[in-house]
Amino acid sequence: MLTIATATIGFGAQDAQAEGRTIKIAVEGKFPPFNYLDSNGELQGFDVEIARALCDAMHSPCELVVHAWDDMIPGLLNSQYDAIVSSMSMSAERREKVAFTARYYESPTIFITGKTSPIQAFAPQDLSGQRLGVTLATAQEAFAQHFYGDASIVVFGSSPELYQGLADGKVDVILEDKLAAYDWLTNTKAGDCCEFRGADIKDPTYFGDGAGIALRKDDVILLGEFNGALDVIGQDGTYNMINAKYFPFPIR
């Protein structure tokens, strides 16, 4: 686990420091445009800016740390950090282990293929024998493993690796979060190879009710503070400002 920064954020942070309170927040750092490391190794992205804005609203210093996605919930439960702000979908399975705040954004899942791909239908039988790419330990992987067992499922370690796999022809189709893939498709040269196909997929059993901030179930006070901070940044325009920086449409 790599510690990126310890920062005092917000006008009331000195009071929080006097109380010895620093909120440690985990971010994956491999899910652009939501969270990623720039060329200087600094955390950037929508999740990162939302996390910092929430700390500001709570008048608390915070420390952002990079943590591996497939071990993120165990790390939270082992008290390696206090919260996860990393585009974590609030699935039924995850709700059994952690508490979530209110939703801070929502994005459907969708299939993506090369622009010249002959694949036009995406029912399980339509992808039988096709190479279907997903990212490790995601809701998309669980969905694919359950419904698309007749496809040849290829699991990649991160979203950038997943996109590269599609661009390089290592898979025929991928299943991904639509907003995350939107950035790759519209803002990168590599993404020009490919396009969304089929209808948006919204299955609350696998994809939950959008992305929320995960905390330990016994951190009731901190949960309330995060929810209160979400209300603050929603009302004072901070959320909309961050949203507009990354997407030309509202995502909450």
**Mean pLDDT, residues 235-250:** 95
Assess whether 126 and 149 both reside in one domain: yes
Strands 211-215 and 99-100: antiparallel
pLDDT at residue number 21: 79
Average pLDDT, the chain: 92
Is residue 179 in a domain? yes
More confident residue, 150 or 208: 150
Q: Where are the alpha helices (DSSP H) in the chain?
A: 13-18, 46-57, 72-77, 92-95, 139-147, 159-167, 178-187, 204-207, 220-235, 238-246
Question: Domain holding 42: CATH number?
Answer: 3.40.190.10
Distance of CA 71 to the CA centre of its chain: 14
Hey, what are 79's tokens? 């008290």
Assess whether 145 and 200 both reside in one domain: yes
pLDDT digits (tens, 9 = 90+) for 225-234: 999 999 999 9
Assess whether 139 and 218 both reside in one domain: no
* Long-range pairs, 138-146, Cβ under 8 A, ≥24: 138/69, 139/89, 139/91, 139/109, 139/206, 139/207, 139/208, 140/109, 140/175, 140/176, 140/177, 142/91, 142/93, 142/206, 143/109, 143/175, 143/201, 143/203, 143/206, 143/207, 144/175, 146/206
Predicted structure pTM score:
0.79
Residue span of the structural domain in which 237 resides = 2-105+209-246
Is the pLDDT score of 110 beyond 90?
yes
Q: What is the CA radius of gyration of the chain?
A: 18
Assess whether 66 and 151 both reside in one domain: no
Is residue 252 in a domain? no
pLDDT digits (tens, 9 = 90+) for 190-216: 999 999 999 999 999 999 889 999 999
In sequence order, what are the residues at sequence separation of 6 or more whose Cβ sits closer than 8 angstroms to the Cβ of residue 142? 91, 93, 206
Q: What are phi and psi of 8, to 5 degrees?
A: -90, 120
How many domains does the chain divide into? 2
Assess whether 192 and 158 both reside in one domain: yes
Is the pLDDT score of 11 beyond 80?
no
Is the pLDDT score of 6 beyond 80?
no
Is the pLDDT score of 50 beyond 60?
yes
Assess whether 178 and 239 both reside in one domain: no
Is residue 85 in a domain? yes
Assess whether 114 and 96 both reside in one domain: no
Is the pLDDT score of 158 beyond 70?
yes
pLDDT at residue number 249: 86
